[in-house]
Amino acid sequence: MYRFLFFNTILSPSFLFICYFNYHAVSLHKKNIVAEYPSVLLENAVNEFAKLPGIGRKTALRLVLHLLKQDEVDVEHFAEALLRLKKEVHYCKVCHNISDTEICEICSMPQRDASLICVVENIKDVMAIENTRQYKGLYHVLGGIVSPMEGVGPSDLEIESLVQRVANNDIAEIIMALPTTMEGDTTAYYIYKKLKPYQVRITAIARGVAVGNDLEYTDEITLGKSILNRVVFEG
């Protein structure tokens, strides 16, 4: 009897209608929550800002609303700077540092010691080392470090071009200034093995910082000292 009533109720048109109506109402309600921006243009801009590292949707909205309050000419300058950065910036043909010209300012300076090459992970490291004012050699920017977890292998990095620089130039010393992480050590060891046949002195910066610290977060005095007090790299 109860079973009959149960199925009868479940299959009755009015019950099905109520179910459909409730479902529809819930989905409409959800739609109302999704449409949180009063303008599609505003939402598009927020979406773009929220793609940036470390920027959540709340911060993105704050930035977009800030831009909206600015003069049109200021927003044009902002947009133009981003576009020109992407379209016109070069990577130095020699060291792969970011540059406005084919060969970067550092590689072009005759007073820099061209027999010294400091190997770094990225452009931020070049800036950090330059800020110490302790290093007068050149750089080689790898564009990352070997990381199997993120699918980055040696061939994805500027390692072969480093080997070519050592093979074709009078290089006295290669200084490894890579992160003291497992990935950094793996990368340094790979480079060490690649450069071993070339009779070049290979050193590593002596770092008084905790394992895992990136160069960019090391203070200038510590980083400056560690470049001066470098040690022979032992593979």
To Zn ion, the closest distance from the beta carbon of 99 in angstroms equals 6
To Zn ion, the closest distance from the beta carbon of 138 in angstroms equals 7
Task: Please identify which residue in 107, 120, 195, 227 interacts with Zn ion, judged by CB under 5 A.
Answer: 107
- Long-range contacts formed by 12-17: CB under 8 A, 24+ apart: none
Identity of the residue, 47 or 164, whose beta carbon is nearer to Zn ion in the bound complex: 164
To Zn ion, the closest distance from the beta carbon of 48 in angstroms equals 32
Q: How far apart are CA 60 and CA 101, in angstroms?
A: 33
Instruction: Return the bridge partners of 147, or none.
Output: 152
Identity of the residue, 74 or 105, whose beta carbon is nearer to Zn ion in the bound complex: 105
Q: How far apart are CA 81 and CA 8, in angstroms?
A: 68
Identity of the residue, 140 or 207, whose beta carbon is nearer to Zn ion in the bound complex: 140
Q: How far apart are CA 39 and CA 93, in angstroms?
A: 45
Q: Which of 189, 198, 197 is nearest to 234 (CA)?
A: 189
- 92 Cβ contact list (under 8 Å, min separation 6): 98, 99, 102, 103, 104, 106, 107
Identity of the residue, 61 or 95, whose beta carbon is nearer to Zn ion in the bound complex: 95
Window of 106-114, 143-151, 166-174, 213-221 that interacts with Zn ion by CB under 5 A: 106-114
Q: At what angle do helices 123-132 and 220-228 cross, to 10 degrees?
A: 90
x/- contact string, 85-104, with Zn ion (CB under 5 A)?
Answer: -------x-xx-x------x
Identity of the residue, 92 or 145, whose beta carbon is nearer to Zn ion in the bound complex: 92
To Zn ion, the closest distance from the beta carbon of 222 in angstroms equals 25
Residues that bind Zn ion (CB under 5 A): 92, 94-95, 97, 104, 107
